[in-house]
Structure 1
């Protein structure tokens, strides 16, 4: 079964942001602000890519949506970071309605005559190295459910929330359902709706879903430029710093290298 992951990398959509902007020009300026996008690249390199590149089941596509207005230097940096990631496909589009553009991009790379597994992924999050394998196995285990429904959701709710910095990583394991990371969806042949047509926290309001609490399946990045953290009254989340044993465990499960984080975030 075809597996497609989808990531928006600072794509200036119409809608789709919790941060409001008065104009598309303002949104583009916000997205490509050098301080902000530098942080996004650091998280993308240190958190997002390692687990995806190390998947035990490498039979998947990972579509990265960018805006046509992305400056050349950022586009070249993105291409360089994914040069050794053959599953990655960088797609550029002009600004457009968020859900429609995402739907069109995903459907453009899928075989519409075949069933499909899809997962959404933010550029500052990580999945475990066996996420694709677990997603494919879940679909096989739920074959009878998939036969009865055009869409079926899957959600792994146990994982880390973490903040990288020049000293390494502050993180802890927690359980949060429908958080949008390590979340997938099975789609019947011919169905044009995609996982991006639904809010991640409302997936179970639109289709049957199956949830898993084991094993640890993700790390959700926690940083100042999270879209969800731009709203008023968002409380800070204190996180303990991982010791050597914690860093070793995180590397084994999600391929995240704390030494690499220290080099990248420390400017080395």
Structure 2
């Protein structure tokens, strides 16, 4: 069964953001501002990419969506970072309605619309477990009877970590949160044009049966200065520096090199 991931990398969609702008050109300037885009690249390099490279099941497609007005140097940097990763396909698009264009991109990525597929959203500042794709497929097989009776079914791995880089430390705490974007997948039956982007992730269970897996931490959600979903009033998490044992777990489960993360975020690089 085909597995498709969708990642927006500073794509200037119309809608889809909690940070509002008066005009699309204001949004583009915000997204490509030097400080913001540098932080996005650092997070992408140290959190998002390593876990994709180390997936135990490498048979998946990741569509990386960028804006067609992204500065050339940033496009080249993305191409250099993802060079050699056959799973990643970079697509540049003009600003359009957020959900409509993402639905189109996902359906175009299907090699055969008459065959079923599995889909997931992936944020450029998060990490998933290195066995996420493998377990997504395994769960679908184990629940085949439910899938056969429904056009769409959500598969939610609801245990993970919230993490933040603070100075020279990576702090984190483990949480259980249902229907988070990270490690939330969806089955779409053959012939069904609905995608995971048809639904708000926190309300996906209002529209279809869901399968919940809570046996192991499957994601790391970073908190940073430019989280779109964390603007305004947000929940506070008490996070503590990782122990050496937790650093080893982050390396094994998420391919995260904590020493490299510290080094990257303590550097004086500027975009």
For this structure pair, what is the TM-score category when the shorter chain's length is used for normalisation? over 0.9
* CA distance in 1: counterparts of 2:227 and 2:50, whole angstroms: 20
Q: Is the 1:166–1:263 Cα contact (8 Å) retained in structure 2?
A: no
Per-residue deviation, residues 121-146 of structure 1 (Å, max 9, x unmatched): 11001100000011001110111111
Aligned-residue Cα RMSD (Å) equals 1.2
* CA distance in 1: counterparts of 2:45 and 2:197, whole angstroms: 23
Per-residue deviation, residues 166-202 of structure 1 (Å, max 9, x unmatched): 5241111111111111000000112111111111101
- Measure how far apart 1:99 and its partner are: 0.6
Q: Unaligned stretches of 5+ in structure 1?
A: none
* CA distance in 1: counterparts of 2:7 and 2:256, whole angstroms: 19
Q: Is the 2:173–2:238 Cα contact (8 Å) retained in structure 1?
A: no
* CA distance in 2: counterparts of 1:164 and 1:115, whole angstroms: 39
Distance 1:24-1:75 versus aligned 2 partners, 3 A rule = same
Q: Which residue of 2 aligns with 1:42?
A: 42
* CA distance in 2: counterparts of 1:46 and 1:263, whole angstroms: 10
* CA distance in 2: counterparts of 1:201 and 1:224, whole angstroms: 22
Q: Which residue of 2 aligns with 1:134?
A: 135
Q: Which residue of 2 aligns with 1:216?
A: 217
Q: Which residue of 2 aligns with 1:195?
A: 196
TM-score (ref. length: structure 1): 0.97
- Measure how far apart 1:237 and its partner are: 3.1
Q: What secondary structure sits across from 2:240 in the alignment?
A: coil
Q: Is the 1:12–1:24 Cα contact (8 Å) retained in structure 2?
A: yes
Written as runs of structure 1 = structure 2, the 5 A alignment for 1:96-175 is 96-110=96-110, 111-175=112-176
* CA distance in 2: counterparts of 1:258 and 1:141, whole angstroms: 34
Q: Which residue of 1 aligns with 2:183?
A: 182
Q: Which residue of 2 aligns with 1:254?
A: 254
Q: Which residue of 2 aligns with 1:73?
A: 73
* CA distance in 2: counterparts of 1:234 and 1:181, whole angstroms: 18
- Measure how far apart 1:31 and its partner are: 0.6
Q: Is the 1:165–1:261 Cα contact (8 Å) retained in structure 2?
A: no
* CA distance in 2: counterparts of 1:33 and 1:107, whole angstroms: 31
* CA distance in 2: counterparts of 1:234 and 1:217, whole angstroms: 23
* CA distance in 1: counterparts of 2:14 and 2:148, whole angstroms: 35
* CA distance in 2: counterparts of 1:267 and 1:86, whole angstroms: 30
Q: Which residue of 2 aligns with 1:56?
A: 56
- Measure how far apart 1:263 and its partner are: 2.0
- Measure how far apart 1:68 and its partner are: 0.2
